[in-house]
Amino acid sequence: MNTIRIGWAGLGNMGIPMVKNLVRAGFDVTVYNRTVGKANTLKVETGVRVVTTPRELIKNVDFIITMVADDNALKAIYQSPDGLLSGNIPANLLAIDMSTVSPDTTKQIAALCREKGIGYLDAPVSGSVKPAENAQLIIMAGGHEQDFEKAKPIFDCLGKVAHFMGENGSGNYTKLAVNTFLGITVQALAETVIFARKNGITAEALLPIINSSAVGSGFTKIKSPGIISNSFPAAFSLNLLNKDILLAKEQGLSTPLGNALAESLQVALRKGVGDEDMMAIIKSL
């Protein structure tokens, strides 16, 4: 049995499989989720302990890991009256945020943690639900390198590789850069299929050629079945991609393709496809 004790906050599409991987690896895990039903279901499935406030979560753990939707959710977990920083802080605690949030929010919370004697890593991940289930995420971490090394046994159970990128915020900047490329790729693939269709070439005929060519990738192969069937259950929703591109723009993204992508995502949201997979942008276009 692993003696490392982890408190985990956030049981969305990514958080649940990540917690299951930690439990399978023998970590002692306690969870908090705003929707208690999800936590109780996970307790039945895995035996994790459940608490009802972040303040309770911080008791008797070595690590705190957060995996939440956005900046506001992360701030609430840390700074609310019953938040992580509202009670007694265990000695040598290390906090790790694996969400995709603003580097500014990371630097703010990291500073608050340092005031309490807590180490803090921003460690967002690249990969969606299936890589999370298979522990094949790519982890990009910012903070102190000694904290990164301390967290490596955890990262090794959640991903196929973990990279130390520099000071706090560096993990976030890296993730926003990766997701800018991801978003541009989504837009480009959608436009390519639409152009072909307008000229009598079906997606069924086009996509195998793309996938076997130099421009094909794991991403184009994963997205091909959904494009062909016009079915887009969310692996990574268009809402979340839009959130990340807005964060990138806040940090200075202002290039021709970046600006066009941001505008296209806004149009797609107005057309009501935000809860579908990001590839549903093809429906908007």
- Region of 135 (left: φ > 0; alpha: ψ -120 to 50; beta: rest) is left
> Which of 188, 276, 177 has its CA nearest to residue 231?
276
Catalytic residue selected from 175, 198, 221, 249:
175
Q: Residue 223 catalytic?
A: no
Please say whether the beta carbons of 225 and 249 come within 8 A. no
State phi, psi for 83 to the nearest 5 degrees. -80, 180
Give CA 198 to chain center in angstroms. Answer: 35
In the structure encoding, which two tokens stand for residue 112, read together? 């608050």
| DSSP assignments along 189-236, one per residue | HHHHHHHHHHTT--HHHHHHHHHTSTT--HHHHHHHHHHHHT----SS
State the catalytic residues: 175
